[in-house]
Structure 1
Amino acid sequence: MSITSIFAQQKFEQLISEIDKGNFSNSEKAIDSLLISSELSFEEKSYLRFEKERMNRIRLDFQKSKQDIINFSKEFLPDVNDEMILNWEKDGSLEFMIIDGEKKYFNRSHTNLFRINKELRKIKESKLGTLKDSLDFYLEKNIPNILDKLKNKESINPQKIKFTYTVSVKPNMVPNNEIIRAWLPFPVEYNSRQSEVRLISVNNDQYVLSGKNQKHSSIYLEKAAKENEPTIFEYSVEYSAKPLKYFVDAKEIIGYNKESDLYKTYVKESAPHILFSEEIKLLSNEIIGEEENPYIIAKKIFTWINDNIPWAGAREYSTLRNISDYCIDRMHGDCGIKTLLFITLCRYNGIPARWQSGWMLHPGNVNLHDWGEIYFEGIGWIPVDQSFGIIDSEIEDAKYFFFGGTDQFHMIVNEDYSDQFYPQKNYERSETVDFQRGELEWRGGNLYFDKWNYNMKVEYLN
């Protein structure tokens, strides 16, 4: 968050409070009145326009009714009633908002309910059997094999992957012949983990690759919209990837060079999502106790989040004001939310930590994915996947494989969050934190996710 945005938030504190209370219609009218004023700066007007856009995005995220929740819950709990619904709301299992006086539930709150609430999770498990999915079984089977090869220093052939990424803008989202600008996610060259990136094809005569200096790796395309037709952007790429595991002995961890630029950069707060709030400080004290070894501290944080923060489908990040605090407040989160909590707690404890994300391309489990990295002096940056967490295994190194390890199916696109694009984007982003689906705009404004679809087709070449 820029200094200007922080000042704007302070200036419009009362308005922001009304928005957060769900008083959207009155807030929109207030914003419209303020935007007419010539006394506001360009930055302040931009801030207010995005607050108005944020309300639209929240409306899209909260469209379920109480009856929708009841209908879904009856599959596992036939006698579900209003009192149960109210109790789930009170204990935080069921996410809702009062928007202009009407209670609306988060679009994924019904499925999240049976992940977040421990009793309901048990009920679901009793009816369906194990709640492990195909990814759990895949990791439990393959991680020990990867570990054996890495420990024995056996050669592991890189996994060669080809994928085709497609974005299709729905017909008539922009006027005929208007140019649509598109930034699509593109795999980055990242040491031995990800290499030999090669663009195979692109359905455009001209394109721009962002280059190594950008934290968001992208391929940029432009196309003119045609009336009554979808506008399609598509490219294919190949790359190679290897698994990696750092076998760290906590006793060999040395002190940080606290005067280095790296240390100063990656232990500091970064508004709005990495802030050392009172909630972060209290939670840190609970988790860490008197421990001083950075490696053990980071492992304690990793373990606590794994054991206490269940995975749940997430709201769009652009609708959340502080993601790490949101995670503590709601006590659940998806991969990015859990990762930001991990990063924040590490930084608060003086451990350099940063964001990394892209896609998970595991066979049968292809999806957007976020994780992080932490830094130890004399070792360097090591990967940490807080969402994959602790693997169900009796082997300690397998259990904690994703604390200091990664497999060959984590495709890296981003080496930080909320960074700039190349070429520069003119309008607000659809995803203000991450970059995995893409970003699109035209001269009339941003094209939000409801205006287009995306698809990832993966081929495993060996």
Structure 2
Amino acid sequence: MKKLLYAIALFLLASACNTKPASKPYSWDDDLHQRLLTDFCMTETQVKDYIRKYIPDVTDEQIRQWEASKALECMTLDGEKRYFRNAGPNLFRVDSACYDIKIAKEGTALGGSEKVNMENLPEIIAAVKKEGKSIAAPKRMRVTYTLTVDTNAVPAGKIIRCWLPFPRADQARQQDVKFISASEPEYTFSPQDCRHSTLYMEKRAVQGEPTVFSETFEYTSSGEWFDLKPEDVQPYDTTSTLYKEYTAEREKHIIFSPRLRELAARLTAGETNPYLKAKRIFRWVNDNFPWASAREYSTIENIPEYVLDNRHGDCGQVSLLFITLCRISGIPAHFQSGFMMHPRAWNLHDWAEVYFEGVGWVPVDQSFGIPTFARNADEEYFFLGGIDSWRMIVNTDYGMPLVPAKKYPRSETVDFQRGEVEWEGGNLYFPQWDYHMDIDYLNY
């Protein structure tokens, strides 16, 4: 008996000695550090090489001045100065002198979405005026959305969990959503009340092969426009649930900081009509914050404050600034996002909706702002109370839970568009996978 106990003790001791140390527990700080290293991946030499395409004799003094003004975005990581991956191109969008230099060399031209909207906006306006309905100019699309996880990103045999974006079926301007197929035999749709609309699937990784998830669906997207007049807007019922929810602060990107409160008060001073207040805010953001490529939202502590500090913003960033200023000013507002689906110009996109008593919820695309091609007052302020026909609405809020729940923090902790993937060992971040969308325009 003693020999048996001794043998068991030796076995347990040997097993303990041969046990591998536990893997390091997940840490958001470590995760955030890696995300910043991904976004801030350029050296000063690389940035200078880009700038020299337009300013051949660029000096170190100029570089330092642009850094100080935050037109050239950089940060120190691991003791090394690193530049944002699109710091060079952004410099020529944000700094007015650099912008003029680039325009003098290359000229200006309408972007792909602007060319499409130059035809679509008059189509919507004319139809609304003729028919008296705010929704018009429907476009039907068939979409195949594919997310591909890199080969060997996950050990063979391990389950990969995937959430793909799926068009919402609870929006008046997005109708006849039809699911056609998915790459996996088993899939789950998020409940309709979930703020992020998803199709969820699982798949085992195979050695030496990428892991591919895909879905195919059809839907009809319409434009919407409200020919808003100040007299159409009635006083709010400030006791209503809607008013209280959508004029409140929300962690962590709708925060009523002293600076934002002062700014909202200054922009709306002397005005009591909610529509005219919103119009002032919309115009001010449009005129002061040029579009620029954005770092990942998950790396930013407070997006509206970031926009003010850096004097630029992409679609979601300026939308969150607009929403926050509206809420501070007593105008209910919320976030919407998904995709802009313009032919030959589809992309991720974010916008907003505001609520006017007596009118209802109306769309606001702060990033599209005042179109450069606007030919009349209706087109000039079209995107304050209007939206083009080329959209796919996926989200009616930001930073909300996915269904089924995700174990690890999302790659995009604010928005949900490209999709999300994880396995038992952790989240799969953007460099480990890619996405693509094939769009068949059925009535264009």
1:279-298 aligned at under 5 Å gives the runs: 279-298=259-278
1:343-382 aligned at under 5 Å gives the runs: 343-382=323-362
Q: Is the contact made by 1:357 and 1:371 (CA closer than 8 Å) also made in structure 2?
A: yes
Identity of aligned residues (%): 45
Q: Are 1:120 and 2:98 an aligned pair? A: yes
AA in 2 matched with 1:316: E
Q: Is the contact made by 2:411 and 2:429 (CA closer than 8 Å) also made in structure 1?
A: yes
Q: Which moved more, 1:360-369 or 1:72-81?
A: 72-81
1:220-369 aligned at under 5 Å gives the runs: 220-369=200-349
**Match of 2:65?**
87
Q: Are 1:395 and 2:376 an aligned pair? A: yes
Q: Are 1:460 and 2:441 an aligned pair? A: yes
Of 176, 191, 196, which residue of structure 1 is paired with 2:176?
Answer: 196
Alpha-carbon distance between aligned partners in 2 of 1:138 and 1:364, rounded to the nearest angstrom: 9
Of 383, 390, 397, which residue of structure 2 is paired with 1:416?
Answer: 397
Kindly report the root-mean-square deviation, in angstroms, between the aligned alpha carbons of the 2 structures: 1.5
Q: Are 1:142 and 2:120 an aligned pair? A: yes
Q: Is the contact made by 1:201 and 1:237 (CA closer than 8 Å) also made in structure 2?
A: yes
Displacement of 1:134 in angstroms is: 2.4
Structure 1 residue matching 2:172: 3-state secondary structure? helix
**Match of 1:158?**
138
AA in 2 matched with 1:112: N
Displacement of 1:100 in angstroms is: 2.6
Q: Are 1:72 and 2:50 an aligned pair? A: yes
TM-score (norm 2): 0.92
Alpha-carbon distance between aligned partners in 2 of 1:242 and 1:284, rounded to the nearest angstrom: 32
Alpha-carbon distance between aligned partners in 1 of 2:93 and 2:109, rounded to the nearest angstrom: 9
**Match of 2:414?**
433
Q: Unaligned stretches of 5+ in structure 1?
A: 1-34, 37-44
Q: Unaligned stretches of 5+ in structure 2?
A: 1-22
Q: Is the contact made by 1:125 and 1:131 (CA closer than 8 Å) also made in structure 2?
A: no
AA in 2 matched with 1:330: N
**Match of 1:26?**
none
Structure 2 residue matching 1:158: 3-state secondary structure? strand
Q: Deviations over 1:252-276 (max 9, x none)?
A: 3111111111111110100111101
**Match of 1:40?**
none
Structure 1 residue matching 2:213: 3-state secondary structure? strand
**Match of 2:167?**
187
Alpha-carbon distance between aligned partners in 2 of 1:264 and 1:277, rounded to the nearest angstrom: 18
Alpha-carbon distance between aligned partners in 1 of 2:34 and 2:267, rounded to the nearest angstrom: 38
AA in 2 matched with 1:150: V
AA in 2 matched with 1:229: E
Displacement of 1:98 in angstroms is: 1.3
Structure 1: which 4+ aligned runs deviate by more than 3 Å? 154-157
Of 408, 429, 433, which residue of structure 2 is paired with 1:448?
Answer: 429
Q: Are 1:168 and 2:154 an aligned pair? A: no
Q: Is the contact made by 2:336 and 2:353 (CA closer than 8 Å) also made in structure 1?
A: yes
AA in 1 matched with 2:385: G
Alpha-carbon distance between aligned partners in 1 of 2:254 and 2:283, rounded to the nearest angstrom: 20
Alpha-carbon distance between aligned partners in 2 of 1:365 and 1:158, rounded to the nearest angstrom: 18
Alpha-carbon distance between aligned partners in 2 of 1:278 and 1:108, rounded to the nearest angstrom: 31
**Match of 1:60?**
38
Alpha-carbon distance between aligned partners in 2 of 1:127 and 1:197, rounded to the nearest angstrom: 46
Q: Deviations over 1:428-455 (max 9, x none)?
A: 1111000000011111111111111100
Displacement of 1:178 in angstroms is: 0.4
TM-score (norm 1): 0.88
Structure 1 residue matching 2:164: 3-state secondary structure? strand
Alignment size in residue pairs: 418
Displacement of 1:131 in angstroms is: 4.7
Q: Is the contact made by 1:181 and 1:221 (CA closer than 8 Å) also made in structure 2?
A: yes
Larger radius of gyration: 2
